[in-house]
């Protein structure tokens, strides 16, 4: 899907609003599985990029997209009863198509894709939704493919986790995944990255809901 710079913000806004419409208050009768907290890792960006929006494929109003399989990553931030948590700042960071982070300490830093933003932010709305356009994560030595998440809220400490690809063989040997002892919690951070029906470009969609262990008013 080729998105011109002039229509980029409109597309992202409309995609996000469409995802938000999927949430229905009171849809969860039972408590949901809490998303496990995981290590932040050593590669949270020391120097944030000038562009920190929710489109990691295009830098500012550039024309050259990042390498990799374009992925529309969305979900909601809720409490254990499914009630939305609004005004939560969701951050993601991940390696580029070459397996390099936006961090000078990352291996092969000189090979980093200069067109990949590597880090993005999104503030949740009234239904707790977030949305990013990024790439499907790839593996690098010692780790299975993953995307780092941080959730920041006023008056609370930063909360971190990671998102993984369902069906990825390297998941079975990944030490960070294996450290999640609860089977349901482990399953909750492993999600489908599936082709979007009707798109010949092969773009993917992934849904990763984050369930926090407190109420929105807590």
Please give the average per-residue pLDDT across 62-91, as a whole number. Answer: 96
* pLDDT band per the 50, 70, 90 thresholds, residue 55: very high
Closest listed residue to residue 85, CA positions, set 121, 126, 29: 126
- For residue 54, the model assigns a pLDDT of 97
* pLDDT band per the 50, 70, 90 thresholds, residue 12: low
- Tokens 């830098």, residue located: 59
Sorted by where each starts, the structural domains of the chain and their CATH numbers stand as: 5-211 (2.60.130.10)
* pLDDT band per the 50, 70, 90 thresholds, residue 48: confident
pLDDT, tens digit (0-9, with 9 covering 90-100), for 129-176 = 999 999 999 999 999 999 999 999 998 999 999 999 999 999 999 999
Q: Report the distance separating Cα 41 and Cα 58, nearest Å.
A: 25
pLDDT, tens digit (0-9, with 9 covering 90-100), for 17-39 = 454 444 444 444 467 999 999 99
Asked whether 120 and 60 are in contact (CB, 8 A), the reply is no
| Alpha-carbon dihedral 52, 55, 57, 58, rounded to 10 degrees | -70
Structure tokens at 214: 């407190």
Is residue 119 pLDDT above 90, yes or no?
Answer: yes
pLDDT, tens digit (0-9, with 9 covering 90-100), for 168-209 = 999 999 999 999 999 999 999 999 999 999 887 899 999 999
């Amino acid at each position: 899907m080729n998105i011109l710079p002039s229509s980029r913000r409109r597309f992202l806004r409309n995609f996000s609003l469409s995802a938000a419409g999927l949430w229905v208050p009171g849809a969860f009768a039972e408590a949901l599985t809490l998303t496990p907290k995981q290590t932040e890792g050593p590669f949270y960006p020391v120097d944030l990029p000038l562009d920190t929006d929710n489109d990691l494929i295009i830098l500012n109003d550039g024309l050259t997209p990042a390498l990799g399989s374009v992925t529309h990553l969305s979900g909601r931030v809720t409490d254990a009863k499914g009630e939305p948590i609004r005004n939560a700042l969701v951050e993601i960071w991940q390696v580029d198509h070459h397996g390099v982070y936006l961090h000078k300490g990352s291996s092969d830093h000189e090979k980093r894709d200069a067109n990949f933003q590597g880090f993005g932010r999104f503030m949740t709305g009234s239904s707790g939704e977030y949305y990013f356009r990024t790439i499907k994560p790839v593996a690098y030595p010692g780790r299975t493919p993953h995307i780092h998440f941080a959730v920041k809220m006023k008056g609370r400490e930063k909360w971190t986790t990671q998102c993984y690809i369902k069906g990825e063989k390297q998941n079975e040997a990944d030490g960070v995944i294996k450290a999640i002892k609860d089977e349901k919690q482990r399953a909750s951070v492993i999600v489908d990255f599936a082709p979007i029906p009707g798109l010949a470009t092969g773009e993917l969609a992934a849904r990763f809901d984050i369930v926090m262990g407190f109420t929105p008013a807590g």
